[in-house]
Amino acid sequence: MENGAVYNETTEPQAKPPRCPFACTRRHLRPWRLSAKALQAILSLLAVICEEIVEDCIKCGGLYVFEFVSCSAFLLSLLILCVYCTDVYETFGEDKVQRM
């Protein structure tokens, strides 16, 4: 009997460390990109709040477009931060994240 066969049968594979699904990491975003995305989320949230302060308007079409764009920018920047700063990036894989 070879030594390799004995060790292969009795040795347990190395277990992966348990991953917390909401652990925050900065591996995938450079510090300047992380701060830019956080600033984008803060400014777009501020735009949504400022838009909600307006009570009366004569032509509200532009205001509704601004509300839609600022709310969409806020939600998408939060999504990007969640994907790149949690373990979702490793779970889905780099190719699927890039396609998304």
pTM over 0.75: no
Per-residue model confidence as pLDDT tens digits over 3-50: 555 555 666 666 666 555 556 666 777 788 888 888 999 999 999 999
DSSP designation for 59: S
Helix (H) or strand (E) run with residue 47 in it: helix 31-53
What average pLDDT does the segment 49-73 reach?
89
Structural tokens at position 99: 């396609």
pLDDT at position 22: 57
CA 82, distance to chain mean position in Å, is 2
What average pLDDT does the segment 57-85 reach?
89
Q: Predicted confidence band at 81 (pLDDT cuts at 50, 70, 90)?
A: confident
**11-30 residues labelled b (16+ CB within 10 A) or e (exposed):** eeeeeeeeeeeeeeeeeebe
Cβ-contact 36, 80 below 8 angstroms: no
pLDDT at position 60: 86
